Each structure stands twice: as C-alpha cells, then as structure tokens.
Structure 1
Amino acid sequence: MGLGNELKDKLAKRAALEVKEHMIVNLGIGIPSLVPNHLPPVFPVVFQSENGIIGIGPEPVQGQEDENLCNAGGYPVSLMNGGCYTDSSIAFAMIRRGKVDLTILGSLQVSEKGDLANWIIPGKKVPGMGGATELASKAKRVIVLMTHLDKIGGSKIVRECTLPITTRSCVSMIITDRAVFTIEDGRLILKELFNPYTLQDIEETTEAHYTLSPAIKYID
C-alpha cells in the first residue's frame, strides 16, 4: 500500500532522530532518501553512496540538477563542501570494512528476529542486488522504513520471511506508517505508535510476535 508525501515525510522525520552527529550514513532509495530534509541545515554528518559519493548534500533545486551527479538509485543529489567522489570499489570497501555507522533502508519484509528481505520478489526482474547485502551485513546499525502492510493488505512484519533473505538478524529498528519497533536480543518490541493507530490496530495487522515496551510513546 502506497503512502502520500505527508506520511513519507512523517516516517523520514522519525528516522532522522536516529542520525547522530559525526556519523557516516548510507540511505536507501525511496523514503530513506528524504531523511536529510529533516536534519538541521548545518549538521555534522557524512552521507555516503555506494556509487562513489562521500558527502552528499541537500536535494538540488529543481532545474539546477547536475545530470552527472546522482545517488545509487539514480536520483539527483548535490555535494557538500569538502565532499568527494571515489571509485565504486572504494565506496563498497568502506561498507565492507564496517565504516558505515548507520544505514536506513526500505524493505519488503522483516521477520521478528530482524531478518531482512528487501532485494527481490520472485518472478520480478531487477537490475541486481545493489548494495543491500553489504550494507545489511556490515553497517553498524540497520533501520528499516516501510509501509506496515503490503499491496494486498498483508503484514510486512512477519514471523518468518517468505521472500528471499537479504541478510539475517541485521535489523535493529523498524519504522512503519503505524508504529516503531526495535529488535533487541532477538525479540521484537513495540516502542511507539503513530496516531491515530491503537494497540489493537497493531495487534490485528502484525503477523510477528512482539512484546510491549513498558513506556509506549504516541507520535502525532
């Protein structure tokens, strides 16, 4: 089920709270790419892209895009002062050496144990796995931004992934349009609810087993 721009921004704004000063951060395509819009104008963080950009800046003004400057998803970006370009192999080496502090990705499914399935739907053609496997395996922290339900109304937070696994037990936080979960010691914990959803709504639309945080927050 798709989200409107307002809801996408709501998720990106919540995810932006997890970005801390001096981090090296890699963002997936889609909703994760909106996260920088919700950070202070001057914020000491480095955004990295696996196609070879270190120091990605704000989204360029429409009409002023550089056709030769785009992120790994092919969307136009800008470069911060002090930013640089590298060979793609260097960008992947940064990821594989564990230099990325945080990656924020979209997903098709996440299991209650933190397994990630986000690279393919069987039978659908895709250009390749991209950087998802390396990022999910080697980033110090993995956050998923996604809709709570799929296009036919099924839960995307599941007991066991039925789609091909990208990486097992890698996700530490899930932010959907309905709630925020963390995964701690292999346990899925409901931490926050987006208004107007209720605990009953989450129970009815979440296949995975989860426990309630003793202090659940409600987010407008």
Structure 2
Amino acid sequence: MNRLNRDQMAQRVARDIPEGAYVNLGIGLPTKVANYLPQEREIFLQSENGLLGMGPAPAAGEEDWELINAGKQAVTLLTGGAFFHHADSFAMMRGGHIDICVLGAFQVSVNGDLANWHTGEPDAIPAVGGAMDLAIGAKQTFVMMELLTKQGEPKLVERCTYPLTGLACVSRVYTDLAVFDVGPQGARATELVDGLTLEELRRLTGLSLDLAA
C-alpha cells in the first residue's frame, strides 16, 4: 500500500481548508499544513500565543526568532497579519471564532472523543496546552495523525483509553492510510490510500468500518 508521508498528509488536510476560514494548527504535525495551503485561497491562520495571519515556514537562515508559534517554531506573517496578547487569542478560541482547528492525537474514538494530552503512563509528561479550549471552542475539529502506533496499535478506537481532551468534538480524522468521518453515527472511511482495501483497514483498526459513498 502507498502509505502517505507527513508532508502528503499535510497536503491532504490543506485541500479541505475553505476560502475565508480562520484556522488554528496544533503543535507538531499539524503545523506542516501551513506550507500547503492553496495560494489562491485567503485563509487566516491563528496561533494561541497571539498571532493572526501566519504564513508558511520561513526559509532556512531567514528565521525571526521573535516571531514564533505556540510550538516555538519560527513563522512568517502575511501582509495584514497581527500579533496580540495571548488572553485575546484564547478569547478567540473559547468564543467560537475559530472555524477549524487541526490537532494531533494519541487516540480518537469513533464518536469523536479526543485524547491528545497525556498517555496516562507514570513517566509521561502531560502537555495539554490550549487543546481543550480549541477542541471545544472551534466550529470544527480535525485530527491529523498516523493511524497506528509504532507498536502497531490503532489510534482510531471504539473507545479512548487515554485521558480525554474533549468529548464528541472531532468530525474528521486524516491519517497516513485513510481519511475518516467520525461522530454520532460512528466512523466511516471516506478515502483509502492506493493499494489498501476496506477489509485490510478493518483488520488494522479492529473496527466495523463502512466506506462512505
């Protein structure tokens, strides 16, 4: 099967970001989405540390380390972009002013529960950040993650076993093997990578998945 790499996953997510959307990209893998947003679309990227109007990552050697995102990565600012107090940024997030947030995850359940801040292991370092605010405050929550752990365990599950970030907040999951819609009706695969069958996807996840029409 033709498993997507991380840049290809970011490209796939970027295709679904519509014109005029206000979007927050979570720390880690989701930040790559900024590099693949269609230039013909006006999309407003927000960072919880107080930025609006972020552009793609700067070229090597052109970083301005006074201009960073919430993950402490150097970013660019598009014409008309702004930076402001993080309290105002969280007011945007909690007040329902973000159209889409794209987050990473340890687990997502078929009904859209999200677990992305702690694995529950005694030596694990919790990292909730603003994920709880985004998951509940954004109008749509997308998750971008590899479908399986390094040990081959599925991250899309019937029920999350890790501490939860938010309940029934995720609507779409983008992975290296398939795209899923999740919610009250359960999980449905909407796209599979070349060479992957629905039967094999069911085996990998252990879920009774259907393929959306």
Q: Which residue of 2 aligns with 1:97?
A: 95
Deviation of 1:38 after TM superposition, in Å, equals 1.6
What residue is the counterpart of 1:218 in the other structure?
none
Which digits, 9 at most, give the CA deviation of each residue in 1:30-58, with x for residues without a partner? 22111122223353110000000111112
Taking only the aligned residue pairs, the percentage that are identical comes to: 41
List gaps (5 residues or longer) in structure 2.
none
Per-residue deviation, 1:128: 3.9
User: What CA distance in whole angstroms lies between the structure 1 residues aligned with 2:69 and 2:208?
Assistant: 36
Name 2:145's counterpart in structure 1. 146
Q: Counterpart in 2 of 1:115?
A: 113
SS in 2 for 1:129: coil
Deviates more, 1:13-22 or 1:119-128: 119-128
Corresponding residue for residue 74 of structure 1: 72
Using structure 2 for the length normalisation, give the TM-score: 0.93
Q: How many residues align?
A: 210
Task: Report Cα offsets for 1:124-167 as digits up to 9, x if no partner.
Answer: 44364101000001100011110110121101111110100000
The runs of 5 or more residues in structure 1 that have no matched partner are: 216-220
Tell me the CA shift for residue 72 of structure 1.
0.5
Q: Secondary structure at the match of 2:102?
A: strand
Structure 2 residue aligned with 1:134: 133
Q: In 2, Cα distance between the equivalents of 1:164 and 1:150?
A: 17
Give, in whole Å, the separation in 1 of the partners of 2:116 and 2:37: 26
> Which region of structure 1 is more displaced relative to structure 2, 110-119 or 177-186?
177-186
Q: Which moved more, 1:186-195 or 1:204-213?
A: 204-213
* 1:99-126 Cα distance to aligned partner (Å, 9 max, x none): 0000011100001111000011222443
Distance 1:98 1:60, change over 3 A: same
CA distance in 1, matches of 2:31, 2:70: 11
Which residue pairs with 1:189 in the alignment?
A: 188
* Matched residue, 2:204: 205
SS of residue matched to 2:170: coil
Which amino acid in structure 2 is aligned with residue 29 of structure 1?
I
Equivalents in 2 of 1:80, 1:127: separation in Å? 33
CA contact (8 A) 2:171 2:182 kept: yes
Tell me the CA shift for residue 186 of structure 1: 3.4
